[in-house]
Amino acid sequence: MHSKMLILQLASLLGICGFVDARTPLYVGALFEFSEHWFKDYTPFFPKIIEHAVKGIQNRTDILQDYDLQIEYGDTKGQNGYAATQMIEMVQGKDRPKIAILGPSLSRELIVTGQLAPFLKVIQLSCVATTATTENEDLYPTVFTVNQVPHTLDKLRVEMTRYFGWKLIGTLAFQKEYSTSQIDSFHKHLNIIKDADIELVATAIVANNSNIKYAIERFKENNVRIIHAVFSSTYAPYVFCEAYKQGMYGNSYVWILSGPNMYKDWTNKASLTDCTEAELVTASDGYFTLDYHPIGQTEVTTVNGQTAQDIWNDLEKQAQKQNLTLVTYTGWIYDMVWALAIGLNNSLKYLDQSGLNRYNYSDYYLNAITAGMKDVDFNGMSGRVNFAGTRFRKGDSYIERNKEGGNSRTYIASFLLDNSTYGNESYNFILKNDPWPDGWPLDRFMTKYTLISTNGVAFGLVLAFLTAGLIMSGAFLAFNIYYRNQRSIKMSSPVMNNVIISGCILLYVEVLLSSFSYYRVMKTDTCMIRTWMMAIGFTTLFGALFSKTYRIYAIFRDGRLKLKIIKDYQLIAKVGVLLAIDSIILIPWTIFHPQVMKEFSELDKKIENKNVLHYTVYLHCNGDYEVYWFGILYIYKGLLLVIGTFLAWETRTVHVAELNDSKFIGACIYNVVVICVFGVPLAHVLSVQQMTISFVLNSCLIIFCTTICQCIIFIPKIRNRNQVHGKFIIPSLNASSSDCSRRFTKNSYADDSRVICTGQNTTEEKSMEDIKEENETLRMQIAKEAIAMAKLRKTLLDMTGDLHIYKSNDKYVVFRKNTDNGLQESNVDFA
C-alpha cells in the first residue's frame, strides 16, 4: 500500500517536472537605475513587482502556456552611454537571445537605447520615462510605452479646450527634452485635427529663467488667456512669480499643465525668486493638471483575476517586509510585464507552428512580435491597457484643479476610453465638478470701448461763445455793407473790412468744426480742414488789416505826403500773395504728412471683470512730423505779425481815424501775442486724456482773439458813423507842418481818393467846433512862421553882418545895406 502511494507521488512529481521542463524559456532583459543615480531610491522593489506579474502569467493557461518568461537585470547607473552598453551586452548573449528589453526609467536613457533596439532586432517596453521623442516612428519603431506618457494627453488637451469653448490658446515649454517633446507633439496634433477650430496664438520656448519674463510679456501682448504649458515643479516658482508680477493670474487666466511633471510643495522654493510664498500661491491658484491614474479606479477584475486594489495590497505587504514604499509607477511596471506576455502570445498567430521556440534576432520574429504588441488590449492594474494599433498606451486620464500650490487638488473631469471600442480610440469627457459655476472664462478678453467726448457743459459754453461771435461777425458785416456810402465807413475801405470779417468767420467756423468733432456730432475726419481754415482765417484777418495800413504807409513814406493811388483790388492781391504762401506750406503737408483723426485707447483699471476689458478711447488729430509743420506755420504767422507791427509803428502819427488803423493793429497784435505765447505751447503739451481742457483752451483762444480783434477794429467805426468831420489836415509822418489837406467828395471812393496839396478847405459844410479848431490851428501855424522868420533874419545877420530879409505881400525880399549907394535890394520868391 505504501509502496503504491510512493510510486504515485513519484510519478506525479516527475510529471510536474516534465511539464515545467517542457516550457520554452523566453529571456527578457530589464535595465534600471540600481546605483549611483538619484532614481536608485525608487528601483529596489522593481524586481519584486516584475516577479509578481510573472507568477500571475504562469498561472494562466491561455497566455504563453508553452513558454516561461525569465528576467535578466542590468544596472544603467543613470548614464545614457552605460545604458546603451548594457543593452548591447544583453542582446549579444547568443545562448540566451533576449526577446524584449524592459526599461530603462529615465527619458534620456530611453532615447539612446530606443534607437538601438531596431538595429538589434528587439522590441523595448517603457513604463516610467515620459519623453515624447519616441513618438517618431522612423527612429523608434520597436519601442512600446506602457505608461501613459504626457504627450498622449494631447487628446485631453484638445477635448478640454473644446468643452469650455476656447479657440485661442498659447503654449509654453522649457528647453528641456521632456518639455519640448510634449509641446511639439501637441502642436503636431493640432495640425492634424483640422476640425478642432483651435488657433495657436503664441508659443514660447524658454531657455533659462531669465527668459520667462519675455515669454509672459508675449502672451500678454497677444491677449492669450488659455496657456497650455509643460514644465517641472523646479521651474514652476519662476513662471508663476513672473505671472504674478505681470498680472496674468486669477479667474481671467487658465494655466493647463502636465500633471506628471508637477509635484506638491513646489511653492516652498519661493526664496529662489523675487516673490513670497503667498504670492506664488495667489498666482498659481486654480491651475489645472492633466494626469493619469497609475492604479485602476474601478472594481473591475484585472487580467490576473484580482482587482487593482487587491494587487496593490499584496505588493504593499511585500514591500513593508523589506521596509520599502510602493512608488506611483507600480501599476505601470506590473502591467508592462503583462503587456509583453499578451503581446508575445498575440504574435503566435503571425508565426508558423514552431512559434517562439526558435526565436532569433531576425525581421521575421521582430515583425511578428511588433504586430502582436500592437494588438494588446487588457484590463491591468493601472486600468485599461490598449495600444489601439500604435506603440503608445491608450487609457483613462483626468483633470485636477490645484489650490495652495498643488497641495490641495480637486477632481474636475475624467477622460475615459470607451470600453466598447477596441482597436480604435474613443473617449468620453465627463465633467464632475464645474470649476466656474458663475461662468467660464473666455479665451480672449471681450473688449468694450467707451468713446470719450468733451464735457457737455464745456461744449455748451464754447458753443454759446461761438454763436455770440458769429452773430457779432454777421452784425459787423451787415453794418459795413449798409453804411458803406457813409463818409467815415467809405474812408476806412468797406471792401477790406469785409475781407477782415471773412477771416474772422473762418476762424469761428474752425472752432465750430472742432466742437462737432470733439463731441462726436460729426464723424468725418476734419483735422486738415480745420488746419486749413485756421491758417487761412488768420492770414485773411490780419493780411487785410495790414494791407490797409500799408496803403497809409505808402502815401506818407519818407515823411512826405505823396500823390499816390492804391486801389482795393491791389490790397486784395497782396492778401492773395499771403494766402499763396499759406498754400505752399499746407499743400505738401496735406499730401505727404496729413493730420488724421486717431484713436488713443487706455485700459480702465478701475473696472474689473474677468471676461471684459474696458477701454477708454480718446480721439485726437495726429500726423507724422506735425511738430515741424506747425513750427513752419507758426514762424510764418509770427513774421506776418512782425510786419504788421512795423507798419503800425511807421503810421502811428497819422491821426485821421477813418484812414489809419495803426493803434487798433497794435492792440490786436498785443492781445494775440500775449494770449498765444501762453496758450499755444500749453495746448500742445496737454495729454490726449485731457481732452476737455485741450478743447476749451484751443476754442477759447481762437474765439477770444478773434472777438477782441473784431471789437477793436469795428466798434470805433460804429461809434463814429454819424459824426461829420471838418478837419482833414493830415500831418506828415515826421510831424512837420503842412498846409496839405485831403479832399473827399460825395462821389469819391476810398480806393481812388487822391491826396491834393492845396490851401483850401473841403467843400463840405463845417461845424462851428470844426471852424474854431481849424482857426486855432491856422493861428498856431502863423505864429510858428513868424518865429521862423525872426530866427532866419537873425541867422543871416550873424552870418553876413549886413544881409536882411523881409516879407512883401506874398514875396520874400532880401537886401543889403550899402553906405555908399544906399540900399541894394533883391527879390527872392520862396513860394
Element (H, E) at 171: strand 168-174
> Which three-class secondary structure string do you get for 708-757?
HHHHHHHHHHHHCCCCCCCCCECCCCCCCCCCCEECCCCCCCHHHCCEEC
- What would the grid cell of residue 593 be? 504728412
Core vs surface per residue 512-536: b (16+ CB within 10 A) or e: bbbbbbbbeeeeeebbbbbbbbbbb
Kindly state the average pLDDT of the residues 158-166.
90
pLDDT of residue 576 exceeding 70, the answer is yes
pLDDT of residue 519 exceeding 80, the answer is no
Euclidean distance between CA atoms 380 and 780, whole angstroms: 134
Least confident stretch, 480-494, 498-512, 675-689, 815-829: 815-829
pLDDT of residue 376 exceeding 50, the answer is yes
Least confident stretch, 242-251, 323-332, 524-533, 755-764: 755-764
User: What confidence category does residue 729 fall into, taking pLDDT thresholds of 50, 70 and 90?
Assistant: very low
Q: What are phi and psi of 104, to 5 degrees?
A: -75, -175
Least confident stretch, 62-71, 309-318, 362-371, 750-759: 750-759
Which of the two residues, 4 and 710, has the higher pLDDT score? 710
Element (H, E) at 333: helix 330-347
Q: What percent of the chain has pLDDT over 90?
A: 38
Kindly state the average pLDDT of the residues 178-189.
87
pLDDT of residue 682: 75
Kindly state the average pLDDT of the residues 64-69.
94
Cβ–Cβ under 8 Å, residues 741 and 568 = no
User: What confidence category does residue 255 fall into, taking pLDDT thresholds of 50, 70 and 90?
Assistant: very high
Which of the two residues, 560 and 462, has the higher pLDDT score? 462
Kindly state the average pLDDT of the residues 25-41.
94
pLDDT of residue 670 exceeding 80, the answer is no
pLDDT of residue 505: 93
pLDDT of residue 412: 92
Query: Please, which contacts does 636-639 make with residues 24 or more away whose CB atoms are closer than 8 Å?
Result: 636/581, 636/582, 636/585, 637/535, 637/538, 637/539
> Which three-class secondary structure string do you get for 336-354?
HHHHHHHHHHHHHHHCCCC
- What would the grid cell of residue 73 be? 537585470
Half-sphere exposure of 63 (CA within 13 A, CB side): 22
Core vs surface per residue 306-318: b (16+ CB within 10 A) or e: ebbeebbeebeee
User: What confidence category does residue 560 fall into, taking pLDDT thresholds of 50, 70 and 90?
Assistant: low
Q: How many CB atoms lie within 10 A of CB 125?
A: 24
Kindly state the average pLDDT of the residues 537-543.
90
Could you tell me how far CA 135 lies from the centroid of its own chain? 39
Decide the pairing of beta strands 397-403 and 408-417: antiparallel
Decide the pairing of beta strands 67-75 and 226-230: unpaired
pLDDT of residue 736 exceeding 60, the answer is no
Supply the pTM of this predicted model.
Answer: 0.56
User: What confidence category does residue 133 fall into, taking pLDDT thresholds of 50, 70 and 90?
Assistant: confident
pLDDT of residue 80 exceeding 50, the answer is yes
Sign of CA dihedral 121, 126, 131, 132: positive
Which of the two residues, 362 and 650, has the higher pLDDT score? 362
pLDDT of residue 294: 81
Please tell me which of 6-20, 53-67, 658-672, 797-811 the model is most confident about, judged by mean pLDDT: 53-67
Euclidean distance between CA atoms 752 and 759, whole angstroms: 21
All residues at 6 or more sequence positions from 15 whose CB lies less than 8 Å from its CB, including other chains: none
Q: How many CB atoms lie within 10 A of CB 143?
A: 26
pLDDT of residue 70 exceeding 90, the answer is yes
Which of the two residues, 65 and 484, has the higher pLDDT score? 65
pLDDT of residue 601: 79
Helix ranges (DSSP H) in 452-567 = 456-482, 487-491, 494-518, 527-555
User: What confidence category does residue 735 fall into, taking pLDDT thresholds of 50, 70 and 90?
Assistant: very low
User: What confidence category does residue 486 fall into, taking pLDDT thresholds of 50, 70 and 90?
Assistant: confident
Kindly state the average pLDDT of the residues 495-513.
90
pLDDT of residue 373 exceeding 50, the answer is yes
pLDDT of residue 56: 94
Please tell me which of 92-106, 342-356, 667-681 the model is most confident about, judged by mean pLDDT: 342-356
DSSP E strand boundaries for 564-626: 596-603, 612-622
pLDDT of residue 794: 74
Euclidean distance between CA atoms 285 and 587, whole angstroms: 60
Q: Give 787-806 pLDDT, tens digit per residue.
A: 777 777 777 677 666 666 66
User: What confidence category does residue 769 fall into, taking pLDDT thresholds of 50, 70 and 90?
Assistant: low
Q: What DSSP designation does 309 have?
A: H
Kindly state the average pLDDT of the residues 186-214.
85
Q: What DSSP designation does 686 have?
A: S
pLDDT of residue 262: 86
Euclidean distance between CA atoms 376 and 394, whole angstroms: 10
Kindly state the average pLDDT of the residues 274-283.
93
Least confident stretch, 96-110, 182-196, 575-589, 814-828: 814-828
Residue 434's SS3 state is coil
Peptide bond into 104 cis (omega under 30): yes
Could you tell me how far CA 81 lies from the centroid of its own chain? 50
Distances (CA, A) of 517 to 461, 526, 777: 16, 7, 60
pLDDT of residue 195 exceeding 70, the answer is no
User: What confidence category does residue 521 fall into, taking pLDDT thresholds of 50, 70 and 90?
Assistant: low
Element (H, E) at 638: helix 626-650
User: What confidence category does residue 810 fall into, taking pLDDT thresholds of 50, 70 and 90?
Assistant: low
pLDDT of residue 608: 55
All residues at 6 or more sequence positions from 818 whose CB lies less than 8 Å from its CB, including other chains: 824
Least confident stretch, 371-385, 490-504, 583-597: 490-504
Element (H, E) at 578: helix 568-592
CA angle 147, 151, 153 (to 5 degrees): 85
- What would the grid cell of residue 707 be? 472777438
Q: Given its phi and psi angles, is residue 738 left (phi above 0), alpha (psi -120 to 50 degrees) or beta? A: beta
Euclidean distance between CA atoms 803 and 241, whole angstroms: 113
pLDDT of residue 655: 60
Element (H, E) at 101: strand 98-102
pLDDT of residue 829 exceeding 60, the answer is no
pLDDT of residue 745: 36
pLDDT of residue 615: 81
Q: Give 688-700 pLDDT, tens digit per residue.
A: 778 788 888 888 8
Q: Give 279-337 pLDDT, tens digit per residue.
A: 999 999 999 999 888 887 778 899 999 999 999 999 999 999 989 888 888 999 999 99
pLDDT of residue 742: 40
Element (H, E) at 117: helix 107-120
Residue 201's SS3 state is strand
Kindly state the average pLDDT of the residues 103-126.
95
